[in-house]
Structure 1
Amino acid sequence: MDFEAVRTFVAVVEAEQFQEAAAELSISQQAVSKRIAALERILGVRLFHRTPRGAELTIDGQAFLPHARELLRVVERAVASVRPGSRPLRVDVIASRLATSGMLRGFHRTHPEVDLDVMKLFDAGTAVDAVRSGAVDASFRAVAMPDRPVPDDVATVRVLDEPLQLLVGPGHRLASARSVGVAQLAGHRIWMPGIAPGTEWGAYYADLAAEFGLTIEATGPNLGSDALLDTIADTPALATFIGEHTRLVWPTGHDLRRISLTDPTPVYPHSLLWRRDNPHPALVTLRAYLATADRTPGTWTPSWVI
């Protein structure tokens, strides 16, 4: 069914004349007549009687009118649902405890008028595909991974260089240190069961280990942050890396220590990705809020980071 014909039918009903409806729709009276005739052929009934005073609904026209108006309301709602700015801004933060989630929380506090739909996509390839297809409006990632360039239709901007810290239990040899040179960690066992092959953080830590001669173990199942913290607290021989802005809470008895890394400080490079032609107005607001990350001297990132 031609929705413009339905719209024309309702316009004639409200104007009570074909000529007035034509003026309202900015088309000719002949075009109005053709649309009504086509609609009548589809429905198999007459909708109007022509009278000296204008156009009057037939019984069938009266029966069709409330449904025609509802059809137009449904079409308007469908159009409004995808009109730029009318739906929530959908952003992928990878995981809820990371700095990326904290950045989005800060944005929400500053711009509570922006509706947000928060996603957690694990794989970088899935996230980029979602950005390109419009399934999400933006994603936080480290770009670009080796042999995985950013597609031409995806824009990126570096939004946070997050310093890496060492997390140890009270019995670890470095537990009393306030800071330690990253090269001094050579020979220490660093356990990170959350590293998954093919992820951007997997590539990041592989390059970090190679650059400074570190031993990073990803053995054993990833049973979540609670299990990791329990093990680090109870095992003096193990340490792990954690982002400075990663939010973790542990029992007081664990007495875990965050130790700053220096000479140089490894930083994890968070970038925002979005499709270049994405028209959502809140995306511009998010980009303006995040701005660009400061480049602090004396830091390290892999050579593939943009």
Structure 2
Amino acid sequence: MDAEALRTFVTVAETGHFQAAADELGISQQAVSKRIAALERHLGVMLLVRTSRGSRPSPDGQVFLPYAKKVLVVVEQAEQAVRPGSRPLRVDVLNRRISPAQAVYRFHRSHPERELDVVTLSSENAAQAAQAVLEGTVDASFRALAADQVPAGISVERLMDAPLELLVGPGHPLADATHVRPAELAGHRIWIPGITPGTEWAAFYRTLSGAFGLSIDALGPDFGPEALMDTLAESNSLATLVGRGDRYLWPRAHDLRRIPLSDPTPVYPHVLLFRSGDQHPVLTALRAYLGTAGPRCPQDVWAPEWVGAAYRTTEPAGTN
């Protein structure tokens, strides 16, 4: 049933004249007549009685009128529910500890009036996350998506290059270093539990290992970040890698050290995925915020070539 025909019938019934309804709806009187005629044919009844003084609902029209009004209210509510900005922006941040989540959190702190729904599709790889964006499960996602895997209908912006840091315990040979070159990590075991095969972060660490001759593994059970911090504090040989904007907490007695990597600085390229043409005002505001917030990355950076230099790269939004 045509909602505009319903709206026209209700307007004629309330104004009592086809021309008055046409003026109120911003259409011609002929269009009003066509809509009413089509609605009456569809229902198989006469809805309006035409007289020299105007029009009034017929007995069938009187029965139909309150239902037509209810339908129009529901239609308006349905339209309002999906208008840009009428619902929270649903953003996948992958993991609530890492820099995209922290950047979105700072955006929310700066713009508390902007409604957000933050989720983690952590079990999905980048291609699956892109499909979730395309299907509308989420509005946007932070992923290191290979340039040749971007599906049609998805726009991408490389908005957050997160510099990597070495995280070690006080007994590690590099614990007192002010910075470390990636090549100097050769021969040291870098343990990153929880690397899921087939994900973009697994591909990232595999590429990083090959580029600098590193030993990165995820051997053993993953008991979570707190257990990782405990293990590092007790070990004289284990190290892990974290992003500069990642948020990890540990007891003061652990005395863990975050050491910047430089010459070059490996960065994890968090690419924002969103549906092409999405006009959600919170998405627009978030993109603008991420494009300006945070310090500049060093000039000498390393990132996997498969991420794609064609993405628009801006300043990272994550710091500690």
Which bracket does the TM-score occupy, shorter chain normalised? Answer: 0.7 to 0.9
| One-letter code aligned to 1:140 | F
Q: Please state how far the C-alpha of 1:218 moved relative to its aligned partner.
A: 0.9
- Residue 80 of structure 1 aligns with which residue? 80
* Alpha-carbon displacement from aligned partner over 1:191-215 (angstroms, at most 9, x marks no partner): 1112112222211111221222211
Residues 203 and 295 of structure 1, relative CA distance in 2, 3 Å threshold: same
Question: What one-letter code is carried by the residue in structure 2 that aligns with 1:130?
Answer: A
Q: Which moved more, 1:269-278 or 1:35-44?
A: 35-44
1:302 maps to: 304
Matches of 1:253 and 1:38 in 2, distance apart? 79
RMSD across aligned C-alpha pairs, in angstroms? 2.5
CA contact (8 A) 1:168 1:175 kept: yes
C-alpha separation between the residues in 2 aligned to 1:262 and 1:22? 70
Residues 73-108 of structure 1 show CA distances to partners (whole Å, capped at 9, x for unaligned) of: 111111122222323222221111110011112222
Matched, 1:50 2:50: yes
Alignment of 1:25-174 (within 5 A): 25-43=25-43, 45-122=45-122, 123-144=125-146, 148-151=148-151, 153-174=153-174
Q: CA deviation at 1:294?
A: 4.1
Distance 1:168 1:24, change over 3 A: same
Cα distance between partner residues in 2 of 1:31 and 1:149: 49
Q: CA deviation at 1:140?
A: 1.5
Change beyond 3 A, Cα 1:28–1:260:
closer
Question: Which is further off, 160-169 or 292-301?
Answer: 292-301
CA shift, 1:55, in A, is: 2.3
Residue in 1 aligned with 2:312? none
2:163 and 2:297 in contact (8 A); partners too: no
Counterpart mapping for 1:234-253 below 5 A: 234-253=234-253
Match of 2:219 in 1: 219
Q: Secondary structure at the match of 1:112?
A: coil
The residue identity in structure 2 corresponding to 1:80 is Q
1:272 correspondence with 2:281: no
Partners of 2:7 and 2:201 lie apart in 1 by 54
In the alignment, what sits opposite 1:196?
196
Shift of 1:7: 1.0
Supply the distance in 2 between the matched residues of 1:302 and 1:41 (Cα, whole angstroms).
Answer: 64
Residues 173-205 of structure 1: CA deviation (Å, up to 9, x unaligned):
333333333222222111111211222221111
Secondary structure of the 2:149 match is: coil
**In structure 2, C-alpha distance between the alignment counterparts of 1:201 and 1:211, rounded to whole Å:** 15
Change (3 A) 1:165 1:11: same
Q: Is the 8 A contact 2:126 2:145 kept in 1?
A: no
The more displaced of 10-19 and 278-287 is 278-287
Report the AA paired with residue 137 of structure 1: D
Name 2:285's counterpart in structure 1: 285
Structure 1 residue runs of 5 or longer lacking an equivalent are none
Structure 2 residue 238 is matched with structure 1 residue 232 = no
Of residues 36-45 and 191-200 in structure 1, the stretch that sits farther from structure 2 once superposed is: 36-45
What is the CA-CA distance between 1:125 and the residue it aligns to?
0.9
Greater shift after overlay, 180-189 or 54-63?
54-63
Figure out how many residues of one structure are paired with residues of the other and give that number.
304
| Range that drifts further, 175-184 or 43-52 | 43-52
Normalising by structure 2, report the TM-score.
0.84
CA distance in 2: counterparts of 1:152 and 1:27, whole angstroms: 38
- Please report how far the alpha carbon of residue 241 of structure 1 lies from its aligned counterpart in structure 2 after TM superposition: 0.9
CA drift at 1:29: 3.9
Deviation at 1:129, TM superposition (A): 1.2
One-letter amino acid of the structure 2 residue matched with residue 114 of structure 1: R
Kindly provide the CA deviation profile for residues 247-273 of structure 1, in whole angstroms up to 9, marking residues without a partner as x.
011223322221222332222222222
Contact 1:160-1:294 within 8 A present in 2 as well: no
Structure 2 unaligned segments of length 5 or more: list them. Answer: 309-320
CA distance in 2, matches of 1:157, 1:56: 58
Identical residues among aligned pairs (%) = 57
Q: State the Cα distance separating 1:135 from its structure 2 match.
A: 3.3
